[in-house]
Amino acid sequence: MSRRNHAQAYRRAAGTCRDRRRPQGLRRAAWVRPFRRLHRTLDSSFHQIRSTLLAAGASRRRAQRRPVRASLELYQASDNLVRVASRLRRVALDLAEVNACIAREPEKASDVPELLIQATVRWMFLAEWLRESSDQVFNLQQDILTGVETGALVPERIGDSRPRIILAPRPVPIRAFLLLRQHRVVDRIAPLIRRRRRTPRPAALRVPRRSLLGRAPPLSVCLL
């Protein structure tokens, strides 16, 4: 299999490569980027408000059994709505930027005013929905706190909502095991042998030698 050298490949490819630079006449209008950005923000705000309302409904259902946990979840829902409010403020800035771009280049924005009106209507709808959702979460939070103060709701113990912790044996990491493992068999068996050795005998204990075991005592020679 023959390979083409660099010079031949360069000569054959000359003039056929696509120019990655955008032509001057096909440059994207200035209003496109902020318009797309505000639509992405509106979509994310819609889904955030919807998920927050679902979480608030679940908290209302469990408020009778676990009012403390429901109250904490409603606090988190309030924080989510605060973040949505900051996103809608950014949408208002993007709408103003799109309007300024239309004023600068009216010849490139023939259909943009109608799209801008639709985006503004959607933004106003989400702002009103956000206000109603905030009032709903706040009222539900006040109902739970009032029920706890009057005794209608009995707060659960803090430990009931915590998950059970089960201690499981941790496996030995294979890398640490291989680093501590001795290569020689004698080195691996020596610690076991040292642990199995018997207790040393006291120095005062006299034990006959192995050569004297099973033999009669030596005869005593009388010199008289």
Residue 161 near residue 75 (C-beta atoms within 8 A): no
**Mean pLDDT lowest for which of 52-56, 122-126, 172-176?**
172-176
Whether 65 has a pLDDT exceeding 70, the answer reads yes
- Region 117-135: mean pLDDT is 94
The pLDDT value recorded for residue 135 is 94
Question: Domains in the chain, please, with CATH?
Answer: 32-151 (1.20.120)
DSSP code string of 168-196? -PPPPPHHHHHHH--SSHHHHHHHHHHHH
Read off the pLDDT of residues 101-118 as tens digits, 9 standing for 90 and up. 888 888 777 778 888 899
115 vs 197, which has greater pLDDT?
Answer: 115
